[in-house]
Amino acid sequence: MACSSTSNCKSDSNGNCNNNTAPPNKNDATPISGEETRANVAKYYGQVLASTKDLKTNACCTSGAPPKYIRDCLKNIHPKVLDKYYGCGLCLPQYPLEGATILDLGCGAGRDVYLASQLVGPKGKVVGVDMTLEQLETARAHLKYHEEKFGYANVEFHQGYLELLSEVNLPKESFDVIISNCVINLCSDKEAVLSACWELLKPGGELYFSDVYANRRVPMALQKNEVLWGECLSGALYWNDFQNMAKKVGFTDPRLVEDSPITIQNSDIQQLIKDMGLEQLKFYSATYRLWKLPLEPHCEDYGQAVIYKGTMERYPSGVALDKHHYFEKGRVLPVCGNTYMMLHDTRFKDFFDYIGTFDTHYGIMGPSPFDEVPSGNDASKGSSACGTGGCC
């Protein structure tokens, strides 16, 4: 049957549409195997996509303009590496990274690896892992170029599956930061990926990554569409399932850093989703940070506070920990125990002054679940960086 749409359609010599966006069986609930998923993704990113221009949606192209210091670093990266970048956000924490050891999961052609290489400097190290040989060939082909450009060599690339990171033989508790840019959603066993990240991080380290999420669970029938999976849409986790999964493997308090809605700018795919009755299924690009710390499941009050010194380069006026925690220079802000630990026991430590300890617990930082009759001596709690509704 000839295709009637002109949006991103690839037809054969007979005029038949080759887009793999035919409406799937709504009642098909049979899960796709991990091996089949990996094979489809490898084919899509290794053979179907030759450059960013070949993407059929904007799901992997949603990040805004990066800050100037990142733009300056990008100028040093080879154009062929930049051309094969398919990420959906900026995946580098804002604190100084000099001397850090960073792991990039799903590094592709190596853009973020070579970006991080410049930020960690000659005393740091960046490791990239990807399953797609064609992408890794591009990354490795430009090793010498970047070594000469930067003046040092601190990068290495490994082929491997993110669900089977143990087979890559990376040392446990050896990374300060793990980054990933719009890749974990492509994995069939996302819990295995998060669990491996917990094992590979040093205590006080973090998984700082951007990915695509949905406002509800994506039906299995839609997950089987190879194009939508490759475009980072149908493999997206429902956001609450992701948070529960992260907590299950040890990342007790996931923090959302930033997010933005994804508009599917492809009429064929929009029609497919409409035909399945899924018009209320929405997708979002989001950056999370997950800390390897002994955090509590809720926002507990220990009477602690922090003061940002204003000493972090590029952030003299204030700095954000996540979407709900911004610290203005010189201002005393009460925080919960989790937020205190995320600052005090990580690479943020030297940029803050700290008030209080964990000696006295004052209850949850927010309303009690019990109905209480207030007495005249009760004093309302002051304002807090963690707010009244918890940290999440």
Question: Which domain CATH number covers 84?
Answer: 3.40.50.150
Examine the domain organization and report whether 84 and 61 are in the same domain: yes
Average confidence score pLDDT of the chain: 85
Examine the domain organization and report whether 266 and 315 are in the same domain: no
Examine the domain organization and report whether 148 and 281 are in the same domain: yes
Q: Which of the two residues, 4 and 228, has the higher pLDDT score? A: 228
Examine the domain organization and report whether 314 and 272 are in the same domain: no
User: The dihedral of CA 234, 239, 245, 249: what is its sign?
Assistant: positive
**CA distances, 86 to each of 1, 111, 114, 156, 355 (Å):** 32, 9, 15, 20, 43
Examine the domain organization and report whether 287 and 308 are in the same domain: no
Tens digits of per-residue pLDDT, 90-130? Answer: 789 999 999 999 999 999 999 999 999 999 999 999 999 99
Instruction: Report the distance separating Cα 110 and Cα 15, nearest Å.
Output: 37
Instruction: Report the distance separating Cα 296 and Cα 338, nearest Å.
Output: 7
pLDDT band at 258 (very low <50, low <70, confident <90, very high): very high
Domain for residue 383, yes or no?
A: no
Measured N-to-C along each axis, helices 133-141 and 143-150 cross at an angle, to the nearest 10 degrees, of: 40
- What pLDDT sits at residue 9? 38
CB 256 within 8 A of CB 213: no
The amino acid that residue 225 corresponds to is N
Tens digits of per-residue pLDDT, 16-72? Answer: 434 444 455 555 555 555 565 555 545 545 444 444 554 555 555 555 678 899 999
H or E stretch including 286? strand 283-291
Instruction: Report the distance separating Cα 255 and Cα 44, nearest Å.
Output: 31
The amino acid that residue 61 corresponds to is C
- What pLDDT sits at residue 17? 39
Q: Exposure of 355 by Cβ count < 10 A (0-12 exposed, 13-18 middle, 19+ buried)?
A: middle
**CA distances, 220 to each of 43, 243, 269 (Å):** 21, 20, 16
- What pLDDT sits at residue 51? 47
pLDDT band at 175 (very low <50, low <70, confident <90, very high): very high
Distance between the two ends of the chain, CA-based, in angstroms?
Answer: 50
Examine the domain organization and report whether 309 and 255 are in the same domain: no
For residue 315, the enclosing domain spans 304-355
Examine the domain organization and report whether 38 and 159 are in the same domain: yes
Domain for residue 296, yes or no?
A: no
Q: Which of 326, 283, 278, 279 is nearest to 306 (CA)?
A: 326
Q: How many domains does one find in the chain?
A: 2
Least trusted range by pLDDT, from 60-64, 140-144, 162-166: 60-64
Q: Is 303 helix (H, G, I), strand (E, B) or coil?
A: coil
Examine the domain organization and report whether 186 and 47 are in the same domain: yes
Give the DSSP letter of residue 63.
-
Domain for residue 298, yes or no?
A: no
* Structure-token pair, residue 242: 């992701």
| Strand order from edge to edge, sheet including 352-355 | 332-335, 304-308, 352-355
